[in-house]
Structure 1
Amino acid sequence: MIRLILVFFLVFLFNNVSAQTKPKLSKEQMERLRKQDSLNPDLNNRGAKQEKAKISDYLIISHKNDTTFVDTTLTIRKEYKFNYLRKDNFGLIPFSNLGQTYNSLTYNFENTSLMPSFGARARHFNYMEIEDVNYYRVPTPLTELLYKSAFEQGQLADSFFTVNTSPQLNFSIAYKGLRSLGKYQHLLTSTGNFRFTTNYQTKNNRYLARAHIVMQDLLNQENGGLRDDMIENFENGVEEFLDRSILEVNFENAENILRGKRFHLEHNYSIIRKKDSLSKNKLSIGHIISLKDKSYQYDQTSVSTSYFGSAFASSNQRDRVTLENFYNQLQLNYSNNIIGDLQFNVSSNNYNYGYNKVVVLNGNTITNRLKGDVFSAGGKYRKQFKKFELFGELGINVSGDFDGNFLKAHATFKLNSDLSATASINHSSKAPNYNVLLYQSNYTNYNWRNNFNNTETQQLAFQLKSKKIADISVDYSTINDYTYFKRDATGIPDGEFVPIKPFQNTETISYLRVKLDKEIKVGKFALQNTLLYQNVQDDNNILNVPQLTTRNTLYYSSHVFKKAMYLQTGVTFNYFTKYNMNSYDPLLAEFYVQTDKEYGGFPRLDFFVNAKIRQTRIYIKAEHFNSAFTGYNYFAAPNNPYRDFTVRFGVVWNFFL
């Protein structure tokens, strides 16, 4: 019933007053947008002269209301983001096929969530959360088309369109789809991300709203990786097995899929508003309403007891878990020129996680549902004073089955036009993920109900940003009651199957990260360097990361053909030191700890040629071209190889109407 009410409410809103918090625009931009609008009465006059839009007028508004504009330039940062995730994936290593999961080489323990996460985290790298959805404001319709070749049969395509029907109302619609067969047996990926956004403000700017609908389905065939007796053939580069489809895998009859739907609305009404720069006070009320519906499903036609252990039934397995979460937040916002920006909020989460069956194991009944209501309170504060900015945010669960709290604060000081420094602190106490607390499966080893403590983290971070010097960031985290998956050999005789189970670490983990980002330019040549150093103090070897991760790109950029085309070409070097890399479990769609063998220590070299012609960017890359002569010891996870040498092509095309 709640879902039907929300859907009706959103549909009504989209047809009347949907969408966003207004970004800060200059008077010049506002006037230009008014003149260029297709519904502007002034343009009905044939003698009216239309002013040409500037690229800076095509605005992108983030979830946090940070405003940027459409960027059609060709830079090395664009090269790093031209991938399946469409963001810089430094610190991740992908599996062999496009659309599969990624193994994490680094972790950030900053957290502002008060509720458990869904689980199946290996499927979430391409899952678009609320923070990943942008809103738009454009003087003329804008279209962006992306294409990139995949592995064997298939391709990646992302299509986007946005339009302002008036200066007050904007709509956007987009769909990213992928289908890729892959080089190895039974490794097809098929994913889709649909999103629709709208944002609105009244002419007097008193009422502001924005909303989105996102629907996603991420399907992967799973093969359990290479069989152990095939690893030697892969690592030795046996010519017969250079055709990767010949290598035998653990099974060829399973797939998993993550589905999700979200209906989200944020709106705000100003009770007292600033009429000009001399006004001192602003008071508004805000409301956020969000309905999230998720499911994760694992299908297998016949069981693989050698890989997962014993099962209740031998065929037609289907494990399916769902989560429905209905979220409401009421806000009171107050702004004053002296005090700054203050917000007080109260929130509620109505959650329902679980399965449509009850499991009885060894005489014990495992519950099939976690459901209830959690009520929380919080606040935000921001103050800008000349070159100094202070921001703080906090939240706490005041009632319900899940305890939780967080505190986040940062201070930024801009020393000059080039140099700024930021110090931040974050404390978090949050319940473990749902699939750690409760899991049910046809496989007997994958059934549990745990009452773990909250995971508590504290993080101190410092950041220095300077184009002349470098971008340097340092963070130090301590983690208590960290939860993880690992094979449990307790009470298991030698030679028998060792199951994977969730655990909670009783010792404190200390985790240090130092990251440096610096570009050196000499004429038309440049060297872009990203270096990450990590150190973990963990007696139980639970949190494993490489000590050193580096990415270095040497490239050349120049206009050619009488400046008709901008060319960028170069080589990127990626490397991380050996460490106890996490293994992947396809049933859970989670990574688990292993300490038997170290992986890594292999170089990855990519050669690229990129070009820009007007608003079109063309990308050609020879990925991992050194694979044949630096050794076949490259793995993204144990038994799951990284990609062989391949050449891929892609294009991004913007249309401004």
Structure 2
Amino acid sequence: MKHIFFVYILMLFSLTARGQEEKSPGREKDTISRSLRSKPKAPGDTLPSITDYKIISYRRDTTYLDTSLTIQKEYRYNYLRKDNFGLLPFSNVGQTYNSLVRDFRTTGLYPRLGARSKHFNYMEADDINYYSVPTPTTDLFFKTTMEQGQLLDAFITMNTSRRFNFSIAYKGLRSLGKYQHILSSTGNFRLTANYTTQDEKYRMRVHFTSQDILNQENGGISNRSQFETGDPEFTDRARMAVFFENAENLLIGKRYFLDHEYFLVRPGQAFSKLSFAHEFQYETKFYKFLQDAAAENYFGSAYQTSDIEDRARLKTMYNRLSLNYGDRIFGDLKFKASLYNYNYYFKTILYTEDGIIGNQLKGNEIAIGGEWSKTIGRVNLSADLEVNMVGNLNGNIFNGNASYDINDDLRLSGFISSVGRMPNFNFLLYMSQYQNYNWQNDDDFGTEKVYTLGGTLRSKKWGSLTASYSTIDNYTYFYETANAEEQPNMVLSRPAQYGGTVNYLKIKGENEFRFGKFALHNTVMYQNVGQDDLVMNTPELITRNTLYYSNHVFKKAMFLQTGITFKYFTEYYADGYNPLLGEFYTQTREKIGGFPLVDFFINARVRQTRIYLKAEHFNSSLTGYDYYSAPNYPYRDFIVRFGLVWNFFR
């Protein structure tokens, strides 16, 4: 109910802001459609253009609001609100995803909390956007879920003047799910503001986020024959037996962010520009696992048999100072130094036969680095280097990028990166009331090192082709210690670092063929992992193909888009899911995959409203009940879901 109430308040607030704006004499009634013209404003024209509704990323890349209906919008109409190619969702909305694709490119120099299965919907600092709009702007997102719930995302932004903008947003989800004890309840609150002085010498942006991600956990289905035989008695999935019905995990995080810059010499004033900048972040997180009674036949022996509560906490403070210089000869230069303070801790101390397991990792880290970028004709070059100089969390990052516009249609880009970073904190230290889940490895584990080389050839006419090759040393992962024959239903995950080298190749192609009103959009990825032991597993082939029809109907009052999407990935040893850690672990007991996923959709656009209707996995009863997202966790059955995205302006 709190989700619905909060979204209702945002809707009421946005409608009030819309109604308070006075209309000028002689203005047409259809102000929304007139304010969303795709053409730039003509001299003397006071009505805003669509390009005036600016969206500014963390890196200050600027795009504008897009209310069109495209196949990319269809791919992004989901819980994460981004294209989830390479992610395999679990049965309920708001649960985790199994990663079919690995991405080792990162901008973070330091380890994070862990509990990575809980972070797919967690918005980091570089996920937050800022805005500049000529009129109050609202985005409302709605989609049905899996039984007794809804997914709502309400957002409003407005400029009180040309120099100051603020936005407020909240995404709330509640979904009961089809299986026993699998409820999801999440909330993502965001508040942003940005300001520029009249002389444009000082600019500032801030945000605050408060996020909570709660999932009931059941350990998966305990009698797989109930699912795989297709017995009509168990097509009501709530009747199926699960391992336990008394556990849940929860991730809560709050973040305060400030980024401001003062120009001693601002752009356009002289031949060069010169400024000082400061970025500040303070974030608190905790991950908690709760269980009424210990499931010793699943997680192993416990120190107590009831009221299990494991809680990991992390507090971080980050300050970065930078001196920024730029001119037409040398390009843009940034010299930066940062101070990172961290405190990862538990509130208990554990005495074992091997000694004491500490309850805290705490320290201060100092890093220095620089950034450079320059455009020379059709060539764009950039580089970013950062090295940790003081502290226990050894790390360094180098990213180099280059792009070349071959002609008006072809663009070639490439990158090289070297990342050395300590594993996440839950690899280094963890404490639990389950005996198997206690370890301290901060002195034993070294820096994970990843070297990547890749590039993309992109054509507006023919699509894109992307390839990358990575080598990973000290690859850090969770592995399964339970004996497959004697303990087939147990999950006993432990952290490890691989002593060998993992080589990872991936090639992705994307294109679209058009035949009048019909189009075929294809996304295909090939992956190959070179390793002496099966420590990192991915499917060799992933494909997504969409055949769809688009046309204006009802005298162009509606734009209609309908089609079929086919998804497939080859069999592989998919990672298993551990709900106690909120992590995936490497397993070699069974393979999943090799089953088709077919969706049918009908989408429509009426002015600034996009309406979505989809029959998901409608082939589920035709191809056999062998579809899993992870061992013991079935993929979604056939379901019809619908929703909309509504944008309106003043």
- TM-score for both structures, normalised by structure 2: 0.92
Match in the other structure for 1:399: 390
Specify the code of the residue in structure 1 equivalent to 2:366.
F
Match in the other structure for 1:538: 531
Q: Hey, what's the Cα distance between the residues in 1 that align with 2:574 and 2:512?
A: 30
Contact 1:541/1:595, CA 8 A, preserved across alignment: yes
Task: Tell me how far 1:654 sits from its aligned partner.
Answer: 0.5
Q: Hey, what's the Cα distance between the residues in 2 that align with 1:123 and 1:495?
A: 27
Q: 1:182–1:494: structure 2 CA closer, same or farther, 3 Å change rule?
A: closer
Match in the other structure for 1:208: 203
Q: Hey, what's the Cα distance between the residues in 2 that align with 1:418 and 1:445?
A: 57
Contact 2:298/2:491, CA 8 A, preserved across alignment: no
The answer to whether structure 1 residue 443 and structure 2 residue 438 are counterparts is no
Match in the other structure for 1:93: 88
Task: Tell me how far 1:178 sits from its aligned partner.
Answer: 0.1
Of residues 176, 184, 190 in structure 1, which corresponds to 2:179? 184
Counterparts of residues 359-398 of structure 1 (less than 5 Å): 359-362=350-353, 364-398=355-389
Match in the other structure for 1:196: 191
Of residues 319, 326, 334 in structure 2, which corresponds to 1:328? 319
Specify the code of the residue in structure 2 equivalent to 1:611.
A
Match in the other structure for 1:307: 298
Task: Tell me how far 1:416 sits from its aligned partner.
Answer: 1.4
Q: Hey, what's the Cα distance between the residues in 2 that align with 1:153 and 1:633?
A: 27
SS of 1:552's equivalent? strand
Q: Hey, what's the Cα distance between the residues in 1 that align with 2:392 and 2:186?
A: 35
Match in the other structure for 2:22: none
TM-superposition CA deviations, 1:299-349 (whole Å, max 9, x none): 000000000000011101111111000000000000011110000000011
Q: How many residues matched? A: 605
Match in the other structure for 1:173: 168
Task: Tell me how far 1:50 sits from its aligned partner.
Answer: 8.2
Match in the other structure for 1:220: 215
Specify the code of the residue in structure 1 equivalent to 2:364.
D
Task: Tell me how far 1:287 sits from its aligned partner.
Answer: 0.2
The answer to whether structure 1 residue 461 and structure 2 residue 457 are counterparts is no
Task: Tell me how far 1:423 sits from its aligned partner.
Answer: 1.3
- Give the fraction of aligned pairs with identical amino acids, expressed as a percent: 52
TM-superposition CA deviations, 1:577-632 (whole Å, max 9, x none): 00001000000000001111111000000000000001000000000000010111
Match in the other structure for 2:503: 510
Specify the code of the residue in structure 2 equivalent to 1:633.
D
Q: Hey, what's the Cα distance between the residues in 2 that align with 1:493 and 1:235?
A: 21
Q: Hey, what's the Cα distance between the residues in 2 that align with 1:128 and 1:114?
A: 18
Counterparts of residues 595-606 of structure 1 (less than 5 Å): 595-606=588-599
TM-superposition CA deviations, 1:519-568 (whole Å, max 9, x none): 11110000000000000001111110000000000000000000000000
Match in the other structure for 2:473: 480
Task: Tell me how far 1:111 sits from its aligned partner.
Answer: 2.3
SS of 1:307's equivalent? helix
Match in the other structure for 2:328: 337
RMSD: 1.4
Match in the other structure for 1:608: 601
Match in the other structure for 2:24: none
Match in the other structure for 1:18: none
Task: Tell me how far 1:112 sits from its aligned partner.
Answer: 2.6
Q: Hey, what's the Cα distance between the residues in 1 that align with 2:404 and 2:129?
A: 27
Specify the code of the residue in structure 2 equivalent to 1:331.
S
Task: Tell me how far 1:275 sits from its aligned partner.
Answer: 3.0
Contact 2:462/2:512, CA 8 A, preserved across alignment: no
Match in the other structure for 2:237: 244
Counterparts of residues 227-306 of structure 1 (less than 5 Å): 227=222, 230-275=223-268, 279-306=270-297
Match in the other structure for 1:46: none
Q: Hey, what's the Cα distance between the residues in 1 that align with 2:354 and 2:120?
A: 38
Counterparts of residues 519-530 of structure 1 (less than 5 Å): 519-530=512-523
TM-superposition CA deviations, 1:456-489 (whole Å, max 9, x none): 0000001111022220000000000001111225
Q: 1:315–1:467: structure 2 CA closer, same or farther, 3 Å change rule?
A: same
Task: Tell me how far 1:495 sits from its aligned partner.
Answer: 5.0
Q: Hey, what's the Cα distance between the residues in 2 that align with 1:324 and 1:524?
A: 54
Q: Hey, what's the Cα distance between the residues in 2 that align with 1:495 and 1:99?
A: 30
Q: 1:363–1:408: structure 2 CA closer, same or farther, 3 Å change rule?
A: closer
The answer to whether structure 1 residue 617 and structure 2 residue 610 are counterparts is yes
Contact 2:374/2:380, CA 8 A, preserved across alignment: yes
Counterparts of residues 157-168 of structure 1 (less than 5 Å): 157-168=152-163
Q: Hey, what's the Cα distance between the residues in 1 that align with 2:309 and 2:205?
A: 38
- Runs of 4 or more above 3 Å deviation: 492-498
SS of 1:445's equivalent? helix
Q: Hey, what's the Cα distance between the residues in 2 that align with 1:273 and 1:501?
A: 53
Q: Hey, what's the Cα distance between the residues in 1 that align with 2:584 and 2:491?
A: 16
Contact 1:157/1:178, CA 8 A, preserved across alignment: yes
Task: Tell me how far 1:439 sits from its aligned partner.
Answer: 0.2
TM-superposition CA deviations, 1:373-405 (whole Å, max 9, x none): 000001100001121100000100000011000
The answer to whether structure 1 residue 141 and structure 2 residue 136 are counterparts is yes
Contact 2:312/2:345, CA 8 A, preserved across alignment: yes
SS of 2:177's equivalent? coil
Q: Hey, what's the Cα distance between the residues in 1 that align with 2:251 and 2:592?
A: 28
SS of 1:232's equivalent? helix
Match in the other structure for 2:17: none
Task: Tell me how far 1:493 sits from its aligned partner.
Answer: 10
Q: 1:543–1:470: structure 2 CA closer, same or farther, 3 Å change rule?
A: same
The answer to whether structure 1 residue 122 and structure 2 residue 117 are counterparts is yes
Contact 1:112/1:407, CA 8 A, preserved across alignment: no
In structure 1, the gaps of 5 or more residues are: 1-35, 37-48
Q: 1:266–1:446: structure 2 CA closer, same or farther, 3 Å change rule?
A: same
Specify the code of the residue in structure 1 equivalent to 2:564.
V
Q: Hey, what's the Cα distance between the residues in 2 that align with 1:494 and 1:294?
A: 38
Q: Hey, what's the Cα distance between the residues in 2 that align with 1:487 and 1:146?
A: 40
Q: Hey, what's the Cα distance between the residues in 1 that align with 2:100 and 2:482?
A: 26
Task: Tell me how far 1:235 sits from its aligned partner.
Answer: 1.0
Of residues 557, 571, 574 in structure 2, which corresponds to 1:564? 557
Q: Hey, what's the Cα distance between the residues in 1 that align with 2:439 and 2:354?
A: 13
Contact 1:214/1:261, CA 8 A, preserved across alignment: yes
Q: Hey, what's the Cα distance between the residues in 2 that align with 1:495 and 1:649?
A: 42
Of residues 408, 426, 430 in structure 2, which corresponds to 1:417? 408
Q: Hey, what's the Cα distance between the residues in 2 that align with 1:600 and 1:629?
A: 16
The answer to whether structure 1 residue 67 and structure 2 residue 57 are counterparts is no
SS of 2:297's equivalent? helix
Q: 1:498–1:67: structure 2 CA closer, same or farther, 3 Å change rule?
A: closer
Contact 1:111/1:426, CA 8 A, preserved across alignment: no
